[in-house]
Chains A and B, each alone.
Chain A
Amino acid sequence: MALFLVNILDGLVTGLLLFMLCSGLTLIFSMMGVLNFAHASFYMLGAYFAYQISTVTGFWMGLLVAPVIVGVIGALIERYGLRRVHKYGHVPELIFTFGLALLIEEVVQFFWGKSQMAYSEPLALDFAAFSIAGNSFPAYKVFMIFMAMGLFLVLLYILTKTRIGMTIQAALSYPETVQNLGHNVPLVFMCVFGVGTAMAGLAGVIAGPVLGTFPGMALQLGSIVFVTIVIGGLGSLWGALVASLIIGWLQTFAAAYNVAMEDILTAIGFTKPENIWDHPLQDLWTLTLPQIGPILPYLLMVFVLVLRPQGLMGKRET
């Protein structure tokens, strides 16, 4: 039971972190119709910038400055790159952001090399906040939870209470009408892209010390972020939150419980073959839940797309 509670908390951290990435991606998609394949690359940039800043001034300055730098870079890329490609249509846009993801990874390696950076949590938060049955829960993860919650509330406030938020909300339901009303101004696009990437950068700053700051970090998270917003429903903030939490818990619990196929098969009446390593079904017999944990989100996405193409909470089909 204690372990269950710990896993709930760990899954919450993972889920909220995912949400920080997904919220920016979904924001960009709902305004611009662009699925930003390079979104996780901005997350990586955030972590690297924060690392670089933290070597000089410490963690907190990095937390403030790095997302801003990432946002500015994002805005510039929108202005001088994406806008150019926009006129060719959505598929070339997707291809552009795909290329961008490759390029950013190369650029990061160009400057910082290939090893993992020694980017770590600030000393002020480097202690165990509490511990459940011998499992300590780092204060930094508590901080992560509050940061992500804070971001969600701010976003929710902006989206429901401010003028620009109303526009974005409207764009979710009636994209054409909003465009006709003259809201489709390039400046808004640039700002939305900048803000969205800055949020990814912020996620990177916060996640870097926990998940590691290395050139493969974007690729590792990239497709999962995609999967999450597709499951949640493209363009839906609540959907992104729900899907992020589902995936966070799915992955945590899949890794936490060693449910073995062997037990299931024996339970339903099969007998395990004598010499399992020569058996053609050896892989089925030795399968465990943690082994397939990382592919569960993809499985879920394929199911969702086949059964409900608009996603769990999406308002319109992609």
Chain B
Amino acid sequence: MNKFKTLLVGAVVASLAATAAMAQEKVRIAFIDPLSGPFASTGNQGLSIYRHAVDELVNKKGALLNGSAEFEIVPFDNKISAKESLIQLQVAIDQGIRFIAQGASSGVANAITDAVKKHNKRNPDKQVIFLNHSAVDPALTNDKCNFWHFRFDANADIKMDALTDDIANNPDIKKVYVIGQDYSFGKAVAAAAVRFLKEKRPDIEIVGNELHPIGKVKDFTPYARKVIAAEADAVITGNWGGDMVGLGKAIMGAGFTKPIYTYYGATSGITANFGDQGDGIVKLAGAGQVNPPLSAEAEAFTTSYYEKFPELDLGQPQMANVAPMLAVAINEVGNADDVKAIAYALEGMEFDGVLTGKTIMRESDHQAIQTLTVQGQTSEGLTFDYDKSGHGMVAETIVELASLNSATTCKMKRP
């Protein structure tokens, strides 16, 4: 119809060729995450998990509309910028895509949820659903919740709940040091840590609670010195990416040998960098588990993932749920076009996640409730390692349907 559209269609056709096109109806999911630039490893890891889940759990099984349709993942590079994300969102909607997936960065997720809300209000004939697979800022399912947003990862509060359970059960821990990045997510983590520890173990002293500028600290040694000086028995941090590596290495390098509880202390080079030093020290709270495999199906799924993507890691197990759950909702509605009905079908859905066990999409706030694990870094008893480093994470504490009844401030307005 016009030149620009032809260009876009051309791009889609090109990416189609790689995924061996079939003659079935395609239900497309726009995957909007950073695929270039400093955060590309996060985006590419997520994309690989989506692709693998779509192939193994939906398309090969003919699980979408009795095999008459297939999912297709269409990647869009948002360069982790809010502006680029909104442009890519617009491009995706123009291409007729009605399912938008994003997760890297809560800032971007906030921008998208806001834009989706406005778009759906302004264009009732072209409504879209926002599938948030890993942005964990609690606000998204609390004050800022909206009907079109579904979060498949456990939010920062839920993760902290599981994490502090682990701490509460360890009588050796009497002093905790909380440190994080200075932005909404880091603050949410710190607030949750203080709240849950006070609730579960009032005797634990919080010997440090501080925020450092995000992505600006070159050398974490001064922070590590404070942790040592405070004689902490455990560290809690929500840091990710370079800030996680820097902080972890500095703390361990300063002679700290007690647990470091993290949200994102594995994969994307982090595990390889911690190496031997991190074994027995680095813990991670997250949804689902890779080690030990939850079931034979989970093991087969993970094995075939690593055969296909040996350079990457299955670091975010909950991402494997997004497409299969969407498929169930579409099947229930009977078509992939009635987006509002599909959103209603997703609400309250109960699902058996391949890596996350029993999973419920809570109706009140669209927050997925699933198995949470606290994993520890080790080099023994691993079925799958991370970063090809011989080190990996093994689930140590497993909480099924974690925080099922946790409170939410969400007042969902349903259309």
A contacting B, Cβ–Cβ less than 8 Å: yes
The stretch of A93-101, A151-159, A213-221 in contact with B is: A213-221
Docked Cα-Cα span, A128 to B255, in Å, equals 8
Whether A118 is near chain B, meaning CB under 8 Å from some CB there, is yes
Q: What are 10 A-B contacts defined by CB distance under 8 Å?
A: A3-B229, A14-B218, A118-B272, A135-B254, A136-B255, A212-B249, A216-B215, A288-B210, A290-B211, A294-B213
Whether B292 is near chain A, meaning CB under 8 Å from some CB there, is no
Q: Which residues of A contact B253 (CB under 8 A)?
A: 136, 138
B275 and A3 contacting across the interface, CB-CB below 8 Å: no
Q: For B388, give the chain A residue with the smallest CB separation.
A: A118
The stretch of B20-28, B220-228, B350-358, B362-370 in contact with A is: B220-228
Whether A134 is near chain B, meaning CB under 8 Å from some CB there, is yes
Whether B41 is near chain A, meaning CB under 8 Å from some CB there, is yes
Within residues 56 to 109 of chain A, which ones have a CB less than 8 A from any CB in chain B? 109
Whether A162 is near chain B, meaning CB under 8 Å from some CB there, is no
A118 and B254 contacting across the interface, CB-CB below 8 Å: no
Q: For A128, give the chain B residue with the smallest CB separation.
A: B255
Q: For A11, give the chain B residue with the smallest CB separation.
A: B222
Q: Which residues of B contact A252 (CB under 8 A)?
A: 219, 221-222
B41 and A113 contacting across the interface, CB-CB below 8 Å: yes
Digit string of A240-259 for contact with B (CB within 8 Å is 1, else 0)? 00000000000111011010
Whether B273 is near chain A, meaning CB under 8 Å from some CB there, is yes
B226 and A117 contacting across the interface, CB-CB below 8 Å: no
Least Cβ distance of B389 to chain A in Å? Answer: 7
A114 and B213 contacting across the interface, CB-CB below 8 Å: no
B222 and A115 contacting across the interface, CB-CB below 8 Å: no
Q: Which residues of B contact A14 (CB under 8 A)?
A: 218-219, 221
Least Cβ distance of B294 to chain A in Å? Answer: 27
Least Cβ distance of A10 to chain B in Å? Answer: 5
- Report which of B212, B213, B273 forms a contact with A212, defined as CB distance below 8 A: B273
Q: For B212, give the chain A residue with the smallest CB separation.
A: A290
Q: For B37, give the chain A residue with the smallest CB separation.
A: A114
A255 and B229 contacting across the interface, CB-CB below 8 Å: no
> Could you say which of A14, A215, A255, A295 has the most chain B C-beta atoms within 10 Å of its C-beta?
A255
Given contacts A10-B222, A14-B219, A294-B216, is CB(A131)–CB(B242) below 8 Å?
Answer: no
Q: Which residues of B contact A135 (CB under 8 A)?
A: 225, 228-229, 254-255
Digit string of B86-114 for contact with A (CB within 8 Å is 1, else 0)? 00000000000000000000000000000
Q: Which residues of A contact B211 (CB under 8 A)?
A: 288, 290-291
Whether B161 is near chain A, meaning CB under 8 Å from some CB there, is no
Count of chain B residues with Cβ under 8 Å from any Cβ of A? 38
Given contacts A3-B225, A135-B229, is CB(A116)–CB(B242) below 8 Å?
Answer: yes
B225 and A7 contacting across the interface, CB-CB below 8 Å: yes
Q: Which residues of A contact B40 (CB under 8 A)?
A: 109, 114
Docked Cα-Cα span, A7 to B222, in Å, equals 7
Digit string of B267-290 for contact with A (CB within 8 Å is 1, else 0)? 011101101000000000000000
Least Cβ distance of B148 to chain A in Å? Answer: 28
Docked Cα-Cα span, A109 to B39, in Å, equals 11
- Report which of A115, A211, A293 forms a contact with B213, defined as CB distance below 8 A: A293
B273 and A256 contacting across the interface, CB-CB below 8 Å: no
Within residues 52 to 76 of chain B, which ones have a CB less than 8 A from any CB in chain A? none
B218 and A220 contacting across the interface, CB-CB below 8 Å: yes
Docked Cα-Cα span, A200 to B387, in Å, equals 29
Q: Which residues of A contact B242 (CB under 8 A)?
A: 116, 212, 214, 216
Q: Which residues of B contact A293 (CB under 8 A)?
A: 213, 217
Least Cβ distance of A1 to chain B in Å? Answer: 11
Q: Please tell me the size bucket of the interface on A.
A: 35 or more
Least Cβ distance of A25 to chain B in Å? Answer: 17
Whether B182 is near chain A, meaning CB under 8 Å from some CB there, is yes
Docked Cα-Cα span, A115 to B249, in Å, equals 16
Digit string of B22-53 for contact with A (CB within 8 Å is 1, else 0)? 00000000000000011111000000000000
Q: Which residues of B contact A216 (CB under 8 A)?
A: 38, 215, 242
Given contacts A114-B38, A135-B254, is CB(A211)–CB(B246) below 8 Å?
Answer: yes
Digit string of A197-223 for contact with B (CB within 8 Å is 1, else 0)? 000000000000011101110001100
Chain B positions within 8 Å of A, measured between CB atoms, are: 37-41, 182, 210-213, 215-219, 221-223, 225-226, 228-229, 231, 242, 245-246, 249, 253-255, 268-270, 272-273, 275, 387, 389
Q: For B229, give the chain A residue with the smallest CB separation.
A: A3
B222 and A255 contacting across the interface, CB-CB below 8 Å: yes
B254 and A136 contacting across the interface, CB-CB below 8 Å: yes
Q: Which residues of A contact B212 (CB under 8 A)?
A: 255, 290-291
Docked Cα-Cα span, A224 to B218, in Å, equals 10
Docked Cα-Cα span, A13 to B223, in Å, equals 15
Docked Cα-Cα span, A134 to B228, in Å, equals 7
Docked Cα-Cα span, A102 to B268, in Å, equals 23
Whether A133 is near chain B, meaning CB under 8 Å from some CB there, is yes
A291 and B269 contacting across the interface, CB-CB below 8 Å: no
Docked Cα-Cα span, A116 to B274, in Å, equals 11
Knowing that A10-B222, A216-B242, A255-B217 are A-B contacts, what are 20 other residue pairs whose CB atoms are under 8 Å apart, sorted by A's residue number? Answer: A3-B229, A10-B225, A116-B269, A116-B270, A116-B273, A118-B272, A131-B255, A135-B228, A136-B254, A210-B219, A211-B218, A212-B246, A214-B269, A215-B38, A221-B218, A251-B222, A252-B219, A290-B212, A291-B213, A294-B216
- Report which of A7, A116, A118 forms a contact with B389, defined as CB distance below 8 A: A118
Whether A167 is near chain B, meaning CB under 8 Å from some CB there, is no
B270 and A258 contacting across the interface, CB-CB below 8 Å: no
Q: Which residues of A contact B217 (CB under 8 A)?
A: 255, 293-294
Whether A304 is near chain B, meaning CB under 8 Å from some CB there, is no
Q: For B216, give the chain A residue with the smallest CB separation.
A: A294
B41 and A133 contacting across the interface, CB-CB below 8 Å: no
Q: Which residues of A contact B182 (CB under 8 A)?
A: 291
Q: For A136, give the chain B residue with the smallest CB separation.
A: B255
Q: For B38, give the chain A residue with the smallest CB separation.
A: A216
A211 and B273 contacting across the interface, CB-CB below 8 Å: no
Docked Cα-Cα span, A221 to B211, in Å, equals 21
Given contacts A291-B213, A294-B213, is CB(A114)–CB(B221) below 8 Å?
Answer: no
Docked Cα-Cα span, A288 to B223, in Å, equals 14
Q: Which residues of B contact A221 (CB under 8 A)?
A: 218
A10 and B221 contacting across the interface, CB-CB below 8 Å: yes
Q: Which residues of B contact A120 (CB under 8 A)?
A: 273, 275
Q: For B243, give the chain A residue with the smallest CB separation.
A: A212
Whether A6 is near chain B, meaning CB under 8 Å from some CB there, is yes
Q: For A248, give the chain B residue with the smallest CB separation.
A: B219
Q: Which residues of A contact B38 (CB under 8 A)?
A: 114, 214-216
Docked Cα-Cα span, A252 to B219, in Å, equals 8
Q: Which residues of B contact A258 (CB under 8 A)?
A: 210, 226
